[in-house]
Chain A
Amino acid sequence: MGRYIIHRLVSMALTLFFIITITFFLMHAIPGGPFTREKPLPEAIIKALNEKYHLDDPVWKQYLDYWKDILRGDLGPSFQLTNRTVNELIGLGFPITARLGIVAIVFTILVGVPLGILSALRQGKWQDYTTMFIATLGVTIPSFVLATVLIYFFGVVLKIFPTTSGRLTRPIEYVLPVIALSGYSLSFIARLVRSSMLDVIKQDYIRTARAKGLSEFKVIYKHALKNAIIPVITYLGPLAAGLLTGSFVIEKLFSIPGMGGYFVNSVGNRDYTMIMGSTIFYSVILVVMNFIVDIIYVMVDPRIKLMGTKEG
């Protein structure tokens, strides 16, 4: 186990190294630099700006400096919103995005897993067909379509929920964005749990459990679910990625001032340091998430062969 964790740590470090390097050089490959405007700035100002942000240094020196800053946790100043640093912007936006994301993850699991179980236990009955029909729609309908439909019906026509959520201070403001954000992953998890549950309840040990005379409740929730839930753990990494990137559009639609909005704006404004900083920030979160998920996965399921312990 220890060796496995070290192995995964090394590969995580390598991944982050590549991500930061690639992101840095991609952003520096852009011709024109960050201060190219429709109306060109005077030569002297550009020169002063370049000097201020050390853009006149050779690229390798900028690269090393960027690494130094990153290792101190500093993502540099924003080029467009003067007097703001990327860290400040992330600090403003990310807590809101994280709150939305965590509620969405909890909602996805609390609704998706039971739906999958229900569907598997009632295989071939109307409950199964209804759930799977909705789940199939759920994985094919884009989140922004779902969000606009929700806003239109529940916000504009029925006026039950607010159409804009602001800073997510009241519980009611969570309802529509959370549903829209988790629509895809919820359906995905329901399908995943259904198929793995169907697999598990055919196993011999379930028959043994039934033969012992255990109640159906115990068989399902104590014996079958434990194994059926394992694929859900592997999906947690992609789930987090989906929710983070999905929030770009959801935050825009519900006017939530989160990280996604800042990121999309920074792309629109060509705010290079902010784009670079957010990309790295998101990637670090997700790579670390994947790492944790992998470790949990191995701890939960003893059948998994540990990669890196034997042949490496």
Chain B
Amino acid sequence: MQVQIDPSLFEPIRGRTDVADEIVRPSITYWQDAWRRFKKNKPAMIGLVTVIIIILSAIFVPMFWPYDYATQIRGHENQGPSWEHPFGTDSLGRDLFIRVMYGARISLSIGLVASLINLTIGVLYGGISGYVGGRVDNIMMRIVDILYSVPLLLYVILLQVVLEKPIEQAFETSFLRVFKGIGSDLILIYIVLGLVYWVNMARIVRGQVLSLKNQEFVLAAKAQGASAWRIIWKHLIPNAIGPIIVTVTLAIPSAIFTEAFLSFIGIGVSAPMASWGTLASDAYRGIRSYPYLLFFPAACICITMIAFNLLGDGLRDALDPHMRK
């Protein structure tokens, strides 16, 4: 019996050894890798697309819609949904669709601005606490523990009462007058929500900084004489960016929710602008006769909350596989 073997199989592979160590596949950055994981996650993609649609319609729909949020159309009061008014009209004959779109602008801007303020305070506080460590860390974290054990919503309400007049005054008199168009009660909400809900962010940043600061690359940076500020800013924060982004994304819906809650009990954004919470609250009085007035703003709140939560969960899985539940 003969086995036929091709002798070429036994020849040494020549000319290949020098490139054996070469990386053949294109290298993938952190973001490309995260995006690859994110794309596979269906609920997260649904969340992302929904968030994009909501943001785009909040920006662009008011630009070409024939009505304004304050325009009262005579003879069109209390109409149900129709082609002309997809969401119907309210008791003053205002087009609900455009009011909901302006509401989206207000609610989304509250979510974004408040989360950015949270982010700034939280990163500074958590970064300093984690990096300095020792006694400073101990005291700073005690304060965070205290803040954690009190009902923050109460302090949101309290701060809103306290800061109402000073902020109104600041926007009447000082150089901040240029922002007056935004409305002082909207700015009040931005500031109050931003000032109160940073605790979570501070805890997460501190935890990240603590686990990173003893690693070799930080030691290397220190050995080269980098300042503490540079180490936090250039080395620690970029390495903790995943959890930070996830926390911000999840903070947006909770800020939107808190504002809707406050508006619903009557201490949020006031007329003529209306956030989704205000619209829902106004509609509640007429729920027996005009339930659609409540349905649309309420549905918008729910959809936005769900979309941001799906997006946040997806980002957590994609950016930070360790945090995966």
Contact = CB atoms under 8 A, between A and B. Distances in A.
Interface string A1-32: 00000000001001100110001001101111
Interface string A241-273: 100110011001100000000001001101000
B162 A152 contact: no
A261 B325 CA distance: 39
A19 B151 CA distance: 11
A53 to B, nearest CB: 18
A267 B306 contact: no
**Interface size of A as a range:** 35 or more
Contact of B287 (A15, A27, A148, A268): A148
B257 A286 contact: no
B154 A141 contact: no
A268 B284 contact: no
A151 B260 CA distance: 19
B209 interface: no
Interface residues of B, number: 39
A290 B153 CA distance: 17
Given A249-B265, A283-B150, A30 B162 contact: yes
Given A140-B302, A283-B154, A253 B162 contact: no
Contacts of A106: none
Given A142-B261, A144-B261, A152-B291, A286 B150 contact: yes
A287 B265 contact: no
A8 B253 CA distance: 33
Nearest to A28: B162
Contact of A15 (B149, B169, B266, B284): B149
A279 interface: yes
Given A31-B166, A140-B309, A144-B280, A279 B267 contact: no
B158 A15 contact: no
A97 B161 CA distance: 24
Contacts of A149: 298
Interface string B144-164: 011001110111011111100
Contacts of A176: none
Contacts of A283: 150-151, 154
A50 interface: no
Nearest to A245: B153
A282 interface: yes
A264 B265 contact: yes
Contacts of B145: 11, 15
B301 interface: yes
Nearest to A26: B162
Contact of B165 (A30, A241, A267, A275): A30
B306 A140 contact: yes
A249 B305 CA distance: 19
16 contacts: A15-B149, A19-B150, A137-B302, A139-B309, A140-B302, A142-B302, A144-B264, A149-B298, A245-B151, A245-B154, A248-B265, A249-B264, A264-B267, A268-B267, A275-B158, A290-B149
Given A195-B325, A249-B264, A267-B160, 4 more contacts: A30-B165, A145-B280, A264-B267, A282-B154
4 shortest interchain CB distances as A-B pairs: A140-B305, A145-B298, A245-B153, A241-B151
